[in-house]
Structure 1
Amino acid sequence: MIGGEWMDLTIAEGFALLALKNESGEKQGQFVEYGLAGSALSELILRGKLAQDPAKPKRLNIIDTETTGDRFLDFCLSILLKAGGGKKISTYVNKLAHKSKLFREQALSLVEKGVLRTEPKSFLVFNWTQYPEADTVTEAKLREHLAAIMFDGKAPVARDSVIIALAEKTQLLGKNFDKSEIRAHKARIKEIAKGDMLAAKATVAAIDAALAAVIAATTVTTVAATTGS
């Protein structure tokens, strides 16, 4: 748990809240599943479940197989355990992002906490579920906290840097914060997203995992565009 001003949200929970429209519960932004995968890896790294391979920094080793007690993180950890340790970060990102239940598992975890609610939808023969907010305070506090870091000079911790990096790369900052403020603090946001204000090795690994999510998403898009042309 992150604790404090994040109201005990994980990185992935915070990212999921930013990726959902408050009233409708529809997803917004780009490459959301990749961002969520990066969030999960980053959280597992910071919790000591995963670690960069000392000899091969682009690979992750699974160093603790015990469950976390968090529904979504344990779902992700089980996928990584099936894949086996020592894989490239981008490989793990893709394995998580391509799971059809990935976002649903995170949303349902937030439903269990009373932050979101389920809203069944249907059209002709199609049925799906959206996840509007049930509790508006939790995300409001998250946004207030991140705004203070990006715009008011508050010092970030590792989890702040990860979620800001992912939100920036998945076009979610502009969906959740004032665009003029984002433009005015572009340089600072870039510093935060790159982890330039942090020093811990675990933090660097978490930032790398977040960036790997973006690289994986970009690669998929580029390949698809090339194939289509």
Structure 2
Amino acid sequence: MSGLQRRRVNKSESISSQDPVVNDETDGEGKRVAYDPEEAKLRDDTTTPKLNLMEEVLLMGLKDKEGYLSFWNDNISYALRGCILIELALRGKIQVLNDPARKRFDVSERLVEVINATKTGEVLLDEALNLMKNDEPLTIANWIDLLSGETWNFMKISYQLKQVRERLAKGLVDKGVLRTEMKNFFLFDMPTHPITDTSCKEAIKRRILSVLVSRNMQLNYNEYFPSSVRFKLIRTLSLICGAYGANVLENVLSSLDYEKRDRAFSRADEILAQFSQFPFALDKQTETGISVNLNKEVQEEVVSNQDASLQLECVAGVFEVFSRMDTLL
């Protein structure tokens, strides 16, 4: 006879046995419901913006009414993988390996390690973080190549993240920024994602233009990018460099006259060169007379986040990859 016996439990015992999963949350009818406390914590976190960096870059590339990217853009897929590493670094998930010998190498050739493997709540970020957690430390450039599928190592070809642009677009649909429509392209139907919330995209454009056009930079905040966001300036610079690397920055500057647009591109070149080294070259003054207060503001942000210097070093490494993308692709 089996030594296992069934024990009858009353209702109160059965509820208490589920306490690790079911919390004292109720629905509209007063019934207890189950929820994930980690998910609730992520949802209430105001230190990260509502849109991640990849979504912002993709949104800059999408045509507003048509809802798709230019068919001639070969850069954006690779640049989005770099943005994934930046986003993970700014969220405190990865950093450059703290090895004194690393300074002998270019910043993009320094090893990356995972320092916090907890979930971010973003599927793409969690997928990339899981790959990095289960592998040995590799360089920044190596990880961007692997996530893009640009590798000759057949043992790691499965590291390629699939359908990144479509998944990001669907995320923007879930967040109410885009909508999904089917459009016929002669021989086949393809889902497109026209913009629904134009104020979101315009706010992102204004944030970029405040750095690339205005003499004194001043960021504007909204529900998608509140003032409580950590690394507000570094995130904005990452957006500019990511859009530059993805070849979608011109979409933001297209409304400017020729002279202003040319100066804005020159300022973007300056920023990319200035911040693709670490420590950042904050003693280098701009020659364009645009966003002259940028260095001071970034210096204050870096000083207030001294414990994150290795994370910012990872950001600089991705910028260096963006600065030589024309020779990579």
TM tier, smaller: 0.7 to 0.9
Q: Does 1:161 align with 2:240?
A: no
Q: Do the aligned partners of 1:45 and 1:51 also contact (CA within 8 Å) in 2?
A: yes
* Distance change (3 Å), C-alpha of 1:184 and 1:160: same
Partner of residue 22, structure 1 = 64
- CA shift, 1:3, in A, is 6.4
Question: In the alignment, which of 188, 198, 205 is matched to residue 136 of structure 1?
Answer: 198
Q: Do the aligned partners of 1:60 and 1:89 also contact (CA within 8 Å) in 2?
A: yes
Task: Tell me how far apart the structure 1 counterparts of residues 64 and 46 of structure 2 sit (CA, whole Å).
Answer: 22
Q: Do the aligned partners of 1:42 and 1:209 also contact (CA within 8 Å) in 2?
A: yes
Q: Do the aligned partners of 2:81 and 2:148 also contact (CA within 8 Å) in 1?
A: yes
Partner of residue 122, structure 2 = 70
Q: Do the aligned partners of 1:42 and 1:210 also contact (CA within 8 Å) in 2?
A: no
Greater relative contact order structure (CA < 8 Å, 6+ sep): 1
What stretches of structure 2 of length at least 5 have no aligned partner? 1-41, 150-160, 219-231, 276-280, 282-294, 303-308
* Distance change (3 Å), C-alpha of 1:80 and 1:117: farther
* Distance change (3 Å), C-alpha of 1:16 and 1:3: farther
Q: How does 1:1-229 map to 2 (within 5 A)?
A: 8-28=50-70, 29-55=73-99, 56=102, 58-82=110-134, 84-98=135-149, 99-123=161-185, 126-152=188-214, 153-154=216-217, 157-177=233-253, 178=256, 179-193=258-272, 194-195=274-275, 196=281, 197=295, 198=298, 200=302, 201=309, 202-213=311-322, 215=324, 218-219=327-328, 221=329
Q: Do the aligned partners of 2:177 and 2:200 also contact (CA within 8 Å) in 1?
A: yes
- CA shift, 1:186, in A, is 4.1
Q: Which has the higher helix share?
A: 1
**Alignment TM-score, normalising by the size of structure 2:** 0.59
Task: Tell me how far apart the structure 2 counterparts of residues 53 and 204 of structure 1 sit (CA, whole Å).
Answer: 10
Amino acid at match of 1:27: L
Task: Tell me how far apart the structure 2 counterparts of residues 52 and 3 of structure 1 sit (CA, whole Å).
Answer: 25
Partner of residue 228, structure 2 = none
Q: Which moved more, 1:124-133 or 1:39-48?
A: 124-133
Question: Secondary structure at 2:247's aligned position in 1?
Answer: coil
Q: Do the aligned partners of 2:80 and 2:246 also contact (CA within 8 Å) in 1?
A: no
Q: Which moved more, 1:169-178 or 1:194-203?
A: 194-203
**Alignment TM-score, normalising by the size of structure 1:** 0.82
Q: Do the aligned partners of 1:52 and 1:60 also contact (CA within 8 Å) in 2?
A: yes
Task: Tell me how far apart the structure 2 counterparts of residues 21 and 53 of structure 1 sit (CA, whole Å).
Answer: 39
Give the percent of matched residue pairs that are identical in Structure 1 and Structure 2. 22
Task: Tell me how far apart the structure 1 counterparts of residues 118 and 176 of structure 2 sit (CA, whole Å).
Answer: 26
Task: Tell me how far apart the structure 2 counterparts of residues 13 and 170 of structure 1 sit (CA, whole Å).
Answer: 12
The size of the alignment, in residue pairs, is 218
Q: Which moved more, 1:110-119 or 1:156-165?
A: 156-165
Task: Tell me how far apart the structure 1 counterparts of residues 238 and 147 of structure 2 sit (CA, whole Å).
Answer: 17
Amino acid at match of 1:86: P
Amino acid at match of 2:179: R
